[in-house]
Amino acid sequence: MSKPSLHRRGFLRAAAGTAAGTAAVAAGAGALAAPAAAPGHGRGGAVPRGRIGLQLYSVRDQIQQRGFTPVLTELAEIGYTYIEFAGYSSPAEPDMTVPKLRKLLDDNGLRAGGAHIGLNTLLNADTREQEFENAAALGMDYIGTASDFPGGTAAEILAGAERFNESGEAARRHGLKIYQHNHTNEFGPVSDRPGVRRHDLFLRGTDPRYVFLELDILWAFGASLRFRDQLGEFDPLDYVNAAPRRYVAFHVKDGVRDPAQTNQYRDVVFGQGELDFRRFFSGLRAPGLPLYLWEQDRGPQEPQGSIWAAEESFDAMVALRGRGC
């Protein structure tokens, strides 16, 4: 017997199926249940529905405990389109392989939007080729790292940027683009140029043909607060609008202010935090180009579970959509 779905739609679908079967028997042969409409279908808006995905780190407990097969099926039922990987293995499915993952994606109508790999793996010519081959086999356009780029001094940052350029050029031979995902530290001051942000120098040192960005929206706003006394506050939207084609994805992460955290926020279920995402998304000069990937680092800590958090967050992202957006 298959395990029950851990999200609301899966439960309702199962219940509806049972009820429809009972009704069909009562009504006799030829009685057909009308198909249920997809949640939110037909609403235009600031978050393009076909670009909504998630980082699997948000539901890592379920991947570890139950495996990719049931979890990806449930995420597809919720409505997610893109998957960003954080590894390709699970103790619950020890025989899982990249080809099997690709079939699982295809069977559920999902696409691999990207993957996070280690910084050294991405920048090391001896290790990145296998990762690029895996990404291509999974049908990805992008592969990146959630590690801070190297360097504290200006020279070190520029040297690290050149290593990113080399990796990005190598990735193009596989039909891929590489990206770097931020936390707050990237927006701090260059150690020997205290009036310059590390992120700004990294942007200047990387070739826009080869190196792209995944903006973690919450952590970028957190960086503005963390370093405001040294460098002043900034609006992350301005970074995106200054170079919209470099931002291939967003981590759509919501949070509540918590100065005790290094990132200055405690991340929560999307829609339950303090950020004005409607303003952010409506202010994009090129809306719809990036992937909109929900992430909640604390998803497994939610009392109702990380799959519940995934469904609540998906619905809240869809609810941002409005006429004419």
Taking Cα atoms as reference points, which of 272, 166, 151 lies closest to residue 218?
Answer: 272
Write out the residue range of the structural domain in which residue 258 sits. Answer: 45-319
- In the three-class reduction of DSSP (H, G, I as helix; E, B as strand; rest coil), residue 323 is classed as coil
| pTM across the whole model | 0.86
Judged against a pLDDT cut of 90, whether residue 41 lies above it is answered with: no
CATH number at residue 208: 3.20.20.150
Is 12 inside any structural domain?
no
Where do we find the tokens 């099926």? Answer: 73
Q: Which residues lie closer than 8 Å to 111 by C-beta, 6 or more apart?
A: 53, 81, 82, 83, 105, 139
Judged against a pLDDT cut of 80, whether residue 32 lies above it is answered with: no
Judged against a pLDDT cut of 50, whether residue 26 lies above it is answered with: no
Scanning the chain, the segments in alpha helix (DSSP H) are: 8-27, 60-66, 68-78, 98-107, 119-123, 125-137, 154-172, 198-205, 217-226, 228-231, 236-242, 277-282, 306-319
Mean pLDDT of 58-65: 98
| Rounded Cα gap, residues 283 and 277, in angstroms | 10
Task: Evaluate whether 137 touches 101 at the Cβ level (below 8 Å).
Answer: no
Place 48 in a pLDDT band, splitting at 50, 70 and 90.
Answer: confident
Give the model's pLDDT for residue 35: 28
Is 324 inside any structural domain?
no
Q: What mean pLDDT, rounded, does the chain reach? A: 88
Domain count, the chain: 1
| Rounded Cα gap, residues 248 and 286, in angstroms | 11
Is 286 inside any structural domain?
yes
Q: Which residues lie closer than 8 Å to 299 by C-beta, 6 or more apart?
A: 58, 59, 60, 61, 306, 309, 310
Give the model's pLDDT for residue 12: 52
Is 282 inside any structural domain?
yes
For residue 197, give the H/E element and its range: strand 193-197
Mean pLDDT of 126-135: 97
Is 325 inside any structural domain?
no
* 20 or 51, which is more confident: 51
Is 11 inside any structural domain?
no
Planar angle of CA 216, 194, 186, nearest 5 degrees: 15
Q: Which residues lie closer than 8 Å to 96 by C-beta, 6 or more apart?
A: 67, 68, 88, 89, 90
Give the model's pLDDT for residue 21: 45
End-to-end CA distance of the chain: 44
Judged against a pLDDT cut of 80, whether residue 27 lies above it is answered with: no
Is 19 inside any structural domain?
no
Taking Cα atoms as reference points, which of 206, 204, 213, 219 lies closest to residue 181?
Answer: 213
Is 122 inside any structural domain?
yes
Mean pLDDT of 152-162: 98
Give the model's pLDDT for residue 289: 82
